[in-house]
Amino acid sequence: MIIAIDGPAASGKGTLGKRLAEHYGFAHLDTGLLYRAVARVLMDRNVPLADRDAAAEVAQNLDVSHLEDDSRLRGAAMGEAASVVSAYQPVRDALLAFQRGFGAGQPGAVLDGRDIGTVVCPDADVKLFITAAPEERARRRHLELLRRGEQAEYETILDDIRRRDERDMNRSTAPLKAATDAVTLDTTHLDADAAFQAALKIVEGKHS
C-alpha cells in the first residue's frame, strides 16, 4: 500500500506522513529532504545552486543513508535552496528511481512531497493533498524555528513561503498540484491531532 501526500511548504504534510506511517507500520520518506541534501552538498562545495549540471551529478551520487539525522537540512534557508534545485529535470530524474523503489517496499510506504501523487507514485492507493493558508503556514514555521532557538521574522517567512509557492506551482518540471484523484485536506484551522484524524478517516475510507 502506498500513501502519497503532496502539498506546499509548511502545510503539515511531513508531520502527517510520519504519523500515518507509524499508525500503519509503514516506512516514511520525506522526499523534500532529498532535494535539501542535494542543495546542501552544492553549498558545502561552494557551487552555485544555478549550476544544473553539478546539481544533477550530486543527485546521481547522493548518499541517502542519514537524511533524517542531518539537522542542517531542516532550516528555512535549505528549504529555499531545495526549491531551486528541485526545479531541474535532471535532478528529479536522478532521484525518481530511489523514490519509486522506496514506495514499492513492504508492507507499505508513505511518501510526502510536491509531486508524489502526480509523478512519483501515480498509482498510489491513497493520495492526499494537504494545504493551508500561507499566513497559517508562516505562523507554524515561525513557531517551529523559534522552538529550535533560531532567529526568525514572521514577515520574512511569509514572503519566503509565497515565493516558494510561486516557484513550485509554476515550474515546468513536475509543478506542485493536486492529482486529479487526490483528496484535498485544508489544515488551516486544524491542529496536528485533528489533521491526523481527518487524514486517517480519508485513508480508511479509500482502503475499506
% of the chain with per-residue pLDDT over 90: 76
| Local structure of residue 182 (DSSP, 8 states) | P
pLDDT at 73 over 80: yes
How far apart (Å, rounded) are the C-alpha atoms in residues 133 and 186?
8
Give alpha helix (H) positions in 63-176.
Answer: 76-85, 89-103, 134-147, 154-170
Q: How far apart are the first and last CA of the chain?
A: 12
Task: State yes or no: 77 annotated in a binding site.
Answer: no
Instruction: Tell which wins on pLDDT, 191 or 65.
Output: 191
Task: State yes or no: 175 annotated in a binding site.
Answer: no
How far apart (Å, rounded) are the C-alpha atoms in residues 68 and 72?
10
Task: State yes or no: 18 annotated in a binding site.
Answer: no
Mean pLDDT to the nearest integer, 138-150:
89
Convert the pLDDT of each residue in 78-134 to its tens digit: 888 998 999 899 999 999 989 999 999 999 999 999 999 999 999 999 999 999 999
How far apart (Å, rounded) are the C-alpha atoms in residues 24 and 39?
32
Task: State yes or no: 179 annotated in a binding site.
Answer: no
Task: State yes or no: 9 annotated in a binding site.
Answer: yes
Task: State yes or no: 11 annotated in a binding site.
Answer: yes
Q: In what order do the strands lie in the sheet with 109-113?
A: 27-30, 109-113, 2-6, 126-131, 183-186
Task: State yes or no: 10 annotated in a binding site.
Answer: yes
Q: What is the pTM of this model?
A: 0.91
Task: State yes or no: 156 annotated in a binding site.
Answer: no
- In CATH, what number is assigned to the domain containing residue 31? 3.40.50.300
- Structural domain of residue 48, as residue ranges? 2-207
Domains: count for the chain: 1
pLDDT at 108: 95
Return mean pLDDT, the chain: 92
